[in-house]
Structure 1
Amino acid sequence: MGGFEILGMSPGVLALIALAGIGTGIVGYLTGLASLVSYPVLLAAGLSPVAANVSNTLGLVGVGVGSTARALRTVTGGSRRTLAAQLAVAAVGGGLGAALLLVAGESSFTAVVPWLIVLASVLLLLSPRISRLRTGEPNPVVYWIGLFLVCCYGGYFGAGAGVMYLALTLIASSELFTRAMVIKSLLLGVSNLVASLIFIGFGPVNWAAAIALGLGCVVGGNFGPVIQRLIPEQVLRAVVAAGGFFLAVWLWWR
């Protein structure tokens, strides 16, 4: 007679996924490398690559939920109208990205992704110097088009989207690094959520794994802003960029 299971998974495995979700939430918030932690764990738990990808995308929504709950005052400290527009763009971009993935497949874009992540990492490192060289206010059109493309990429592929968002925001807007970190998790969380809702209709979701991962990500994402306050901005900027370079190398190697 088999042991007790929840939707086909043992409580022990689900507990490990939730524990990994805490680490995923922290790493995802601080560096944007969430999937490097969570995706292998879901594969090790016995999920197929397709089920792991869909369940992972759904679970990662928890990072945005946790970090936003912790830093709600930071999130709502700016213009409410601007935030609403950002959320709308993130939702539309994530939905379009997911639709493109279903139509075109992942392979058609895979070769370009590492180069985009490297470019974003370099721009992130250079963003203070670029901002000092800029004369006048940044062009908002560049930011909004870039935001849409980043969120579209987030729904399509996702890896390194956090690095791309930070590079875009710090160069094409006057947003502070501290707030950009929190907004990043919120907007990419919305992008992931919309993409997940689309994927659910076309791919297998292991709900037990997705919920366990999501709960862990909420906890980890909640710790993220707290840990961020303990790390100097220059150090954190370098850590995020280094994470981007590492992710690019991992994608090339894979």
Structure 2
Amino acid sequence: MTGLEHLAIIGAGLGAGLLTSTVGVASLLSFPVLIALGIPPVVANVSNTLGLIPGGLGGSLGYRRELREQPRVSRLVVATCAIGAVGGAVLLLALPAGVFEAIVPWLILFTCLLVGAQPWISRWLRSRSTEEHQPRTVMSPATLVFAALTGVYGGYFGAGAGVMMMAVLSLGLDLDLRVVNALKTLALLAGNLVAGLIFVLVADINYTVAGLLAIGSIIGGYTGSHLGRLLPPALLRTLIVLAGLTAAVTML
């Protein structure tokens, strides 16, 4: 690869890190760049997963104040997404390429709808309840299951996984959106870390690409966490939905 191609990958990592900590569609930026540079899809996918781990780490460090507010939920998010990512990584290596092509864009569109409509859905559910509503700060079994399934998807491919996790956590918990965003960033880190470890052992990785992505993504992830904290909740929710729609339309 040329020097300009190296710079392009670092730039893709920087942008992907920013997206990891804000709207959660990092692979929508970095993966197409790797494909455009002529890297085979599966090699690009596993190298991308490995290279974005520092982005999630930088974002999680930047969000450490929010994560300290919900230590129990943070631990559960890490555990469920890590377990799910193991299954996703195995599926990626075992199944033919493109198995989920037909369903994934529609799944992302559906989760965009849930993220956008979450405030109205939550108010409607509270209005239907006859009991005094108590804020939900503990993950229910259903929330744990859907978080694990999102981890499976994240380990398999990952484009739009952040949007899906935002939908799961927003509907399952009554937390500020900035805290949900922090938990989403931690979830992506856990999933990428576990899948990346599996890929290091058994997959064909372009370590030059992964290293260049890592350089950009750790800076972008940390910077994005501060940006995500400053964005008003309504604007952040709108940006997440728009990013998810873009990912779904691009994949379609």
Note whether the superposition's TM-score is higher than 0.5: yes
Please, which of 55, 75, 78 is the counterpart of residue 84 of structure 1?
75
Distance 2:173 2:165 in 1: 11
Is residue 40 from structure 1 mapped to residue 32 from structure 2 by the alignment?
yes
Q: Helix, strand or coil: the match of 1:107?
A: coil
| Superposition deviation, residue 82 in structure 1 | 3.4
Is residue 50 from structure 1 mapped to residue 42 from structure 2 by the alignment?
yes
Is residue 127 from structure 1 mapped to residue 98 from structure 2 by the alignment?
no
Distance 1:173 1:41 in 2: 35
Distance 2:189 2:90 in 1: 17
Distance 1:158 1:122 in 2: 18
Residue range with higher mean Cα deviation, 125-134 or 41-50? 41-50
Is residue 93 from structure 1 mapped to residue 80 from structure 2 by the alignment?
no
| Superposition deviation, residue 217 in structure 1 | 0.6
- Paired position in structure 2 for 1:170: 170
| Superposition deviation, residue 53 in structure 1 | 1.2
| Superposition deviation, residue 14 in structure 1 | 2.6
Please, which of 104, 117, 121 is the counterpart of residue 95 of structure 2?
104
- Paired position in structure 1 for 2:228: 228
- Paired position in structure 2 for 1:4: none
Aligned length: 243
- Runs (4 or more) in structure 1 with deviation over 6 Å come to none
Is residue 62 from structure 1 mapped to residue 54 from structure 2 by the alignment?
yes
| Superposition deviation, residue 201 in structure 1 | 3.2
Q: Summarize deviations over 1:195-241 as a string: whole Å, max 9, x none.
A: 12222333221111101101211100111122123321111101111
Identical positions, percent: 37
The amino acid that maps onto 2:61 is A
Q: Summarize deviations over 1:127-182 as a string: whole Å, max 9, x none.
A: 00111122345571111111111111111221111111111111111222101111
Is residue 17 from structure 1 mapped to residue 9 from structure 2 by the alignment?
yes
Structure 2 CA distance for partners of 1:27 and 1:82, relative to 1, 3 Å: closer
Q: Summarize deviations over 1:21-44 as a string: whole Å, max 9, x none.
A: 111111232222211211122234
Please, which of 95, 107, 110 is the counterpart of residue 116 of structure 1?
107
| Superposition deviation, residue 107 in structure 1 | 2.4
Residue range with higher mean Cα deviation, 58-67 or 100-109? 100-109
Q: Helix, strand or coil: the match of 1:250?
A: helix
The amino acid that maps onto 2:203 is G
The amino acid that maps onto 1:58 is L
- Paired position in structure 2 for 1:183: 183
Contact 2:12 2:216 (C-alpha < 8 Å) held by counterparts: yes
Residue range with higher mean Cα deviation, 131-140 or 145-154? 131-140
Structure 1: give runs of 5+ residues left out of the alignment: 1-8
The amino acid that maps onto 1:112 is I
RMSD: 1.8
| Superposition deviation, residue 87 in structure 1 | 1.1
The amino acid that maps onto 1:200 is V
Contact 1:63 1:185 (C-alpha < 8 Å) held by counterparts: no
Structure 2 CA distance for partners of 1:248 and 1:223, relative to 1, 3 Å: same
| Superposition deviation, residue 11 in structure 1 | 4.9
TM-score w.r.t. length of structure 2: 0.89
